[in-house]
Amino acid sequence: MFDAVLHDPKLPLFLSSIDQHLAMQARAKGCPYCGGVLHSAAYIRKPRGLPAEERPGGKRESFCCHTCRRRTTPMSVRYLGRRVYTGAVVLLLSAMHSGVTTRRLEQLRGTLGVSRRTLQRWRHWWRTVFVITPFWRGAQGLLMPPADCRQLPASLLERFPEPDGITRLLQCLRFIAPLSSPGTVHDK
């Protein structure tokens, strides 16, 4: 499932269109600090984890208030906080049930540039840092049956029972999108 979803040519288009929609919503609300008008202040991101030919444009939507000059960065389904890998890659590769064989690790390193150490760090984050975030403490009650914290993020993906992998992934990314905005989670 993971390979098919990550290499689906529609995935970057879906993620970009969702991010555009989230950005338009944030801009329409105005500055969360003073209510002023928001102007575009997008910045370049070089997302890792997708083959070069399938990478979306590396522009991260962001806004600057005309009045107070404070930055507002809307939620995103492409980027998971400050991580350099796309949210889809972090979510799907961390969700691998059986771990990673040496052969599979070499494939991941060749196609996506992900090392064993990076995968271990992501799994550690899901199971120790993520579970104590204010976001997760509030959001986990929305899932029935509850996600098993020892099996995150696989148990989170299972809570979205759509038949095809890409729809399941998109719904899960939308669910965790609040993690992509500054100030939502302690992202260390």
Segment 4-28, tens digit of pLDDT: 787 788 888 888 899 999 999 999 9
pLDDT of residue 47: 76
Question: DSSP letter at 141?
Answer: G
Q: What per-residue confidence (pLDDT) applies to 186?
A: 40
Mean pLDDT score, 130-144? 93
pTM of the predicted protein model: 0.85
Q: Express each pLDDT in 38-57 by its tens digit.
A: 999 988 887 777 655 545 55
Between 48-52, 78-82, 143-147, the lowest mean confidence (pLDDT) is in: 48-52
Judge whether 120 lies within some domain. yes
**Residue 185, pLDDT score:** 42
59 near 43, Cβ under 8 Å?
yes
Please give the residue range of the domain that contains residue 135.
2-180
Our count of domains for the chain comes to 1
Does residue 185 fall inside a structural domain? Answer: no
Tell how strand 38-40 and strand 43-44 pair up.
unpaired
* Residue 107 within any structural domain of the chain: yes
Indicate if the alpha-carbon torsion angle 75, 80, 85, 90 is positive or negative: negative
Of residues 74 and 1, the one with the higher pLDDT is 74
